[in-house]
Amino acid sequence: MRKAFSDLCYYVVAHQDDWQLFYGHQAFLDLTEPGARVVLVYTTAGDAGRTDGWWQAREQGALAAQSLSREVPQPRTIHIGRHPIAIYDAGAFISYHLRLPDGNIDGTGFDSTGRASLQKLQAGGIAEIAAIDGSTSYAGWNDFCATLGAILDREGLPGTAWINAADWSWSCSPRDHWDHKATADALRQLAGAKCNRLWFTTYSNDARPANLNSNDLAHKEAVWLAYRQHVQALADVEFLDWEWETWGAKNYFRRVLAGQDDTSGS
């Protein structure tokens, strides 16, 4: 078990399948815990540069995974500062969808200029980044971070809360997606040591042995299949099995408690 139960936990991820593939078993427990409030934040649309309904299908797949057998809530738009943000609020969970462009694994972006990515925004290579649905744009890295921070503040961030995200450290989680790292860097800047953090490893798990027991694996597979089946039906695509075969049975992370430095952990 990752942690003692907290009635408020966050999953802040870059893409719609990140938490299912890399930490889905714990998310399953949090999402099915009576009295819990699970906050999910997706910083990008996970569009991969496509304009054929792929990102919309992935968003609905994420909703199916976090809803499990419960009714999927209807979307609505709220304003965080000057930015309209799409949310789905079911009470037991709420998800925020910033819908920024997928930055590609190496951070170069998928747009025609190869410039639109969180990595380039963070590095100062671009001065602005726009949501792919045209809803808003962010005037620099600080604007993006301030918006993410305002979302955390809106939900509350007590010292007992847990933030779950891909590990910011390249040494702990190498060969990672730049969207993962940029999202994690923003969280470090915002949350600091104010609450508990769980930094999970991602792509580099391919070289590690399977380590989930049968119950945890079944829970993780439940949220992954809910995502996969929903996306597959909406986007009329066949999923490759290699993602689940590579990462499904694995779970690696660093646990950093409130008050501890992010370079530590167990």
Q: pLDDT tens across 131-186, in order? A: 999 999 999 999 999 999 999 999 998 888 999 999 999 999 999 999 999 999 99
What are the respective helix, strand and coil percentages of the chain, to the nearest 5? 35, 20, 45
245 pLDDT above the threshold of 50:
yes
Tell me which of 15-19, 50-54, 80-84 is least confident: 50-54
CATH numeric code, 8-256 = 3.40.50
Nearest CA to 38 out of 6, 64, 15 is that of: 6
pLDDT number for residue 46? 96
Answer with the residue of higher pLDDT: 236 or 36. 36
Q: 3-state DSSP call for residue 229?
A: helix
What is the residue-averaged pLDDT of the chain?
92
The residue written with tokens 């996970």 in the block is 46
26 contacts 38 by C-beta, under 8 angstroms: no
167 backbone dihedrals φ, ψ, rounded to 5°: -65, 130
- Ordered by start, the domain boundaries in the chain are 8-256
Decide: pTM greater than 0.85. Answer: yes
167-180 per-residue burial string, b: 16 or more CB within 10 A, e: under 16: bbbeebbeebbbbb
pLDDT number for residue 2? 45
